[in-house]
Each structure stands twice: as C-alpha cells, then as structure tokens.
Structure 1
Amino acid sequence: MSHPAGGQPSEAAERPPRATGTSAVEVRRSARRSRTVSAYREGDRTIVLIPARMSEAEERRWVGVMLDKLAAQESRRILGDGELTERAERLSSQYFSGRVTPTSVRWVTNQNTRWGSCTPAEGSIRLSHRLQGMPEYVVDYVLVHELAHLLVPGHGPRFWRLLESYPRTERARGYLEGVIAAERLPHLPVTDGER
C-alpha cells in the first residue's frame, strides 16, 4: 500500500520497532523514496516506508494514516462467526487475562441502533452487521466492550476501568460517533456539476 507524501531524499535510516496496540511498528527511512509512503505487515510487525527527510511530526501522522488504511483494508474481509469467536477469545486473553470466554460470537442483522449486545447468562455476544468493513480496531473495541459486559453489567465506573486496558477505546468511540453523526446529516441531492 503506497501513498504520495512530501519530503526530499537524504540518507536512509531505520527506526527501532515501537509497539502500537497489539503489534510493533518499524519505520524505515529511505533516501531513494522521495514522495511516497507505503506500509505492509510482516508477521506481527507493521513496516512503514517513508522518505528520509520527513519530519518527526510528518512521520507520526503518516504512521497513523497507514495503520488505519491497513486496518480498514484487512477488515474488508468479512470474518465468519467462528473467526469472531476466536478473535474475542484472543482479546479476552490479552485485555482480561482470559477471565471471560464467550460461548458464541456472531454477526446479526437485527441491530440497527446498537453496535453490539450480549447476554451474560448465556455468555453470548452479537455484533451488528453494520460493523462489517469498519477498521479492525473498531470491531475489536466493540468486542472488548461486550466482553467487559460479560464481567460487569451496566456502564458504571468498574466497567469503564475494564475498558481502559484497550488502548484504542477513545479513537474507536470517536469513529463510531462520527458514523452516527454522518448518518444523521441530511442527504443533499447531487447536481450534474458536482459529479
């Protein structure tokens, strides 16, 4: 995945990997790369290739952009219910020390006002089909949210303390709030001149 970016060539440099969420990010600077930024996954690491003369601020911005683009690209592949269950178990292990194991996790098409729901007595989690195609970190946030509900009902302080362990909670909530806000905007007609 490549995108054009500003910056002039200079000597190549490689940054040590840094952890972001569940994987490490390694930034590689290249004197031969003058205008593009690209990224790819290599095992559990993400490699971001940038022009050598890019500033630290530009680097941080482009790393974020490329992580989001990779996540969106990966989440376009719709996970099956079995994969969702495996993912929930992995998230439970990572963020809740495996204290909660859902009996089932599945997509449903009858949740148009909620992103997810659960039934603690059964240990089941349901995710709205509207999440399909959203970035991976957003789907993971909803799974973590519902896993937390299997431990703590309601949205009290104890519940929110559990969610603090997921590092992209605020970002995912902002994304979902943006989706809701966009859905509420009036749809303006497109004229021939705007196409």
Structure 2
Amino acid sequence: MPSNTKVEVRRSPRRRRTVSAYRDGDTTVVLVPATFSRAEEKRWVDQMLRKLEAKEGRRRPGDRELRERAVELAERYLDGGRLPDSVRWVDNQNTRWGSCTPDTGTIRISRRVAGMPSWVVDYVLLHELAHLYIPHHGRDFWDLVRRYPKAERARGYLEGYSAGSRSEGCAHAAEDDDLGEDEVALEE
C-alpha cells in the first residue's frame, strides 16, 4: 500500500457477513460488520488492502506500457511527427499531473494519475506530448490538445479531483516538484 494512504474503518450494524473496501482520494475506506472483534477487523482490513493493491496493480500500466500508449496517442492525434524518447511514472509530482522536457523528449506522469480512468490518463499523456511540439500553453498548443475528443471532459475530471482534494484539506508539497527551466508541466 502506498505510504501516503490513510485507512478509515467504518463499522456498520447493518452488515452481518460482508466486508468491502474502496479508495476515496488518498484514503482507503474499509466497511466491516459492527460485531467484528478488533482482531477480525485487523485481519479483514489487511486482506482488503492486499486485494485492492492487487486489483490496482492489474489496472496500472508500467513504464513500458505507458510509453507504448503515448506513442499510439501521438500517432493517432498528433500525426506521429515527434515521439517521446522516454515516458515514465514518477512518485515525486504532487502538484502536477505530468511534465515534459521537450529538448530531451522526456515525459513524466504522476503516479497519482495511474488509478484514474484511462481517458484521463490519455489526456495527460496527450497534453505532455503536445509540449514536444509547442513548449508553452498558447493557442496553437491548445489546438493540438483539443484533437483528443475527451480533452474537455478530462480537464473537468482533473479540476474536480483537485477541488475535492483541496476541500478535504489535502496539502501538496510543491518543493517535491522542482522542474528545470526547460521543462513544462500540467499542474493541478
């Protein structure tokens, strides 16, 4: 389980035998029957955390799959003229969804995006791929990004996710996100 994940156990008098768990932002919520002993609760919480991790691990692509997807998107929406040299997940971007260094063709995507819907991951990738062509956020840049049919929907999703995180008192450490002057990032 990621070290920044909190666990909240909710006991329900209506539950008799079922246990369930889900992610709510950076919190894992585990629902257990109110009749469970503390030992049963701990055993089930541990088991549910392992199950969630396994499920999410199957859903999250690795760096190789992420690069392959980036290449597919570049070819489909950006005519494949500029392909990234490197695309990888990173753990140190807490206020950015992704970043790009156009000079080296390097794209980094925050691991926080990994659990989001695939069309949102695709948008973040396409946004960073567009920086390989245009390093700033001018009109030409946004014209490229809008080639992705779900661009506005994905931007709305990310904005809503950010607003929800802030409203729950989620703090982000900007010092973790140092970028060089030749790097461009998609920020929250």
Establish whether TM, by shorter chain, passes 0.5: yes
Which segment is superposed worse, 104-113 or 178-187? 178-187
Match for 2:128 among 142, 146, 171?
146
C-alpha spacing 1:109/1:92, structure 2 compared with 1 (3 Å): same
For residues 73-84 of structure 1, the aligned pairs below 5 Å read: 77-84=59-66
Cα distance in structure 2, aligned partners of 1:186 and 1:126: 26
Give 2:92's match in structure 1, choosing from 105, 110, 124.
Answer: 110
In structure 1, the residue matched to 2:112 is: 130
The offset of 1:185, in angstroms, is: 1.1
| TM-score, normalised relative to structure 1 | 0.56
Q: 1:74 to 1:87 in 2, by over 3 A?
A: farther
The one-character-per-residue Cα deviations of 1:142-193 (angstroms, maximum 9, x if unpaired) are 0000000010011000101111210000000000001100011146xxxxxx
RMSD: 1.7
How far apart, in 1, do the equivalents of 2:98 and 2:132 lie?
12
User: In 1, Cα distance between the equivalents of 2:99 and 2:58?
Assistant: 22
Alignment check: 8 A CA contact 1:75 1:135 kept: no
Report deviation, 1:100. Answer: 1.4
Which secondary structure does the structure 1 equivalent of 2:131 belong to?
Answer: helix
Question: Measured at CA, do residues 186 and 81 of structure 1 come closer, stay the same or move farther in structure 2, by a change above 3 Å?
Answer: closer
1:161 to 1:86, Cα distance in 2 relative to 1, 3 A: same
Q: Which amino acid aligns with 2:115?
A: G
Gaps in structure 1 of 5+ consecutive residues = 1-72, 188-195
- Contact 1:76 1:133 (8 Å CA) reproduced: no
Percent sequence identity is 60
* TM-score (normalizing by structure 2): 0.59
Q: Is the 8 A contact 1:74 1:136 kept in 2?
A: no
Higher relative contact order (CA 8 A, sep 6+): 2
In the aligned structure 1, how far is the partner of 2:168 from the partner of 2:148?
34
Matched-pair contact (CA < 8 Å) for 1:81–1:106: yes
Q: Secondary structure at the match of 2:59?
A: coil
Asked if structure 2 preserves the Cα contact closer than 8 Å seen for 1:76 and 1:132, the reply is no
Deviation at 1:83, TM superposition (A): 0.4
Unaligned runs of 5+ residues in structure 2 are 1-54, 170-188
Cα distance, 1:75 vs structure 2: 9.4
Deviation of 1:134 after TM superposition, in Å, equals 0.2
